[in-house]
Amino acid sequence: MRVRYFAWLRQRTGVAEEEIDPPAEVRTVGDLARYLAQRHPRLGEVLQSRGVVRFAVNQEYADADTPVGPRDEVAFFPPVTGG
Amino acid sequence: MRVRYFAWLRQRTGVAEEEIDPPAEVRTVGDLARYLAQRHPRLGEVLQSRGVVRFAVNQEYADADTPVGPRDEVAFFPPVTGG
Amino acid sequence: MIRVVDGPFDPAAELARFARGRTDVGAVASFVGRVRDHDGRVPILAMTLEHYPGMTERMLARLEAEARRRWPLLDVLVIHRVGRMLPGEPIVLVATAAAHRHAAFESCAFLMDWLKTRAPFWKLEETPEGERWVEARSSDDEAAARWEQPAAE
Amino acid sequence: MIRVVDGPFDPAAELARFARGRTDVGAVASFVGRVRDHDGRVPILAMTLEHYPGMTERMLARLEAEARRRWPLLDVLVIHRVGRMLPGEPIVLVATAAAHRHAAFESCAFLMDWLKTRAPFWKLEETPEGERWVEARSSDDEAAARWEQPAAE
């Protein structure tokens, strides 16, 4: 599974993207977030705060219940500020 | 007094502008319109229809009660359609 | 700034100059109205814009002043062409510059709505069946009326 | 058409090409967002736009499709720059062409509002005190929310 981080979330993980192989219990974006919070404690600090972090699965907006699998690309990022 | 006509009102009078010297009873735009209706019968036909003709006195929008005098410029025109 | 011009003008070139070099501007909204080649099913061969010289400039200047009073604008440009023009040619350009986008968007729409209902211009269309004066549209009056309330800033 | 560019672009030159030669277009609305040299009292020395390559293009294409579904648009252009840029430089250009002005104005504002809240871009400002990520504004969410209702055509 490929995981990508953007903007200040990337600064918290220290990596822009990584290939991971989470345990089989990780079935949703929410599961994945809890798993990644252990891996990147400074990411974990903010993943708890609702509304601060957005998710995408395969480049589509997702929520905590969206299923994820080994071949998916999952992204974590703050609310967007373009334009 | 200078009177100007625009768009299809000008086509009804046949003149774009004229210098006139109306009788002293002509004190308002409404008086002037009635006076000009005699002078230009084809203008008179439409001056009766409310909302079809707009007035300006000295290049400011006016209404039938706006006073007019010998040194004024008075204009008659249809609703505007620019832009 | 307002300008009434009696020949072709180039909106893109005007926009290239508009608010150029100003680093306090975060948002530029613009609108260009052009002559269309048809109106419903009627082909339009050409369009002539008549105006009331003097009153036109006075009304446009007043529209600009009113827009600046309602929104914190950093620059305003209104160019309106008069005379005869062909399909595809620009009739009017309105551009507004502000720190933020809502002021730019709203003031630009406001200027067009009021210009359409307050500035003394009249359109004469040339069609295959002859000339005809464009009639004022009640939808333009309604669009202009929405700005009668104080601006929601 | 949508484009994500990683260097400077020239909005006026883009607008010169936009809907050129089309005589069915009566109205072109456009918006340019630029880097400002300050935010409140804080000087902005430069701005870096980060994005999510792939998802960005996908979301912008969807915004264009949604705008075309809601309004009878004859042409649409969205250009968004990424990377580092200086005050005064354009960040984004949105242009819409239609037969009539309300479709052009509304779709242009709609595209900017949704772009600001749905397209994966993030702004990093350089200030004299260091770098800081721009925070999302609730006013942008509110502006975007007004388009949730079906368009009043």
Print the SS3 string covering C90-108.
EEEEEEEEECCHHHHHHHH
CB contacts of C120 in chain B (<8 Å) are 6, 56, 77, 80, 82
Helix segments in D25-97, DSSP class H: 55-70
CA distances from D104 to C99, D3, D34 (A): 22, 20, 21
**pLDDT (tens digit, 9 = 90+) per residue, B23-63?**
999 999 999 999 999 999 999 989 877 678 999 999 999 99
**pLDDT (tens digit, 9 = 90+) per residue, D99-110?**
999 999 999 999
Residue B50 lies in a domain: yes
Residue A83 lies in a domain: no
ipTM, 2 dp: 0.94
Q: How far apart are the first and last CA of chain D?
A: 23
Q: Cβ–Cβ contacts within 10 Å for residue C69, how many? A: 9
* SS3 of residue D142 by DSSP: helix
**pLDDT (tens digit, 9 = 90+) per residue, D12-66?**
999 999 999 999 999 999 999 999 999 989 999 999 999 999 999 999 999 999 9
Residue B69 lies in a domain: yes
Q: Any bridge partners for residue D80, and if so which?
A: D4, D92
Q: Distance between CA C9 and CA A4 in Å, rounded?
A: 49
Structure tokens at C119: 């500035």
How close is the nearest chain B Cα to the Cα of C23, in Å? Answer: 30
Q: Distance between CA D36 and CA D44 in Å, rounded?
A: 7
CATH of the domain at B16: 3.10.20.30
CB contacts of A79 in chain D (<8 Å) are 135-136
Q: Distance between CA A78 and CA A51 in Å, rounded?
A: 8
Q: Count the alpha carbons within 13 Å of A73 in the hemisphere toward its beta carbon.
A: 12
Residue C70 lies in a domain: yes
pLDDT band at D150 (very low <50, low <70, confident <90, very high): low
Contact between chains at C55 and B6 (C-beta distance less than 8 A): no
Q: Which domain holds residue A53?
A: 2-77
What is the secondary structure of C11-66 as a DSSP string?
HHHHHHHTTTT-TT--EEEEEEEE--SEETTEE--EEEEEE-TTHHHHHHHHHHHH
Residue B83 lies in a domain: no
- Please give the interface size between C and D, counted as residue pairs whose CB atoms are below 8 Å apart: 101
Contact between chains at D123 and A82 (C-beta distance less than 8 A): yes
Residue A82 lies in a domain: no
Task: Please count the structural domains in chain C.
Answer: 1
Q: Mean per-residue pLDDT for C109-138?
A: 97
CATH of the domain at C105: 3.90.1170.40
Residue C7 lies in a domain: yes
Task: For chain D, say whether C109 makes contact (Cβ under 8 Å).
Answer: yes
Residue type, D103: A
Residue B82 lies in a domain: no
At C150 the pLDDT is 61
Residue of C nearest to B83 (CA): C116
Residue A51 in this model has a pLDDT that exceeds 90: no
Q: Which domain holds residue C126?
A: 2-16+26-131
Sheet containing C2-5: give its strands across. Answer: C2-5, C73-81, C90-98, C27-34, D27-34, D90-98, D73-81, D2-5
C89 neighbors C35 (Cβ within 8 angstroms): yes
Residue D151 lies in a domain: no
Average pLDDT, chain D: 96
What's phi and psi for C41, nearest 5 deg?
A: -95, 0
**pLDDT (tens digit, 9 = 90+) per residue, C37-54?**
999 899 999 999 999 999
Q: Any bridge partners for residue C3, and if so which?
A: C79
Task: Please count the structural domains in chain B.
Answer: 1
Q: Scan residues 32-71 of A and list those with Cβ closer than 8 Å to D.
A: 56, 59-61
Does A have 3 or more CB contacts under 8 Å with B? no
Nearest to C136 among B4, B6, B81 (CB): B81
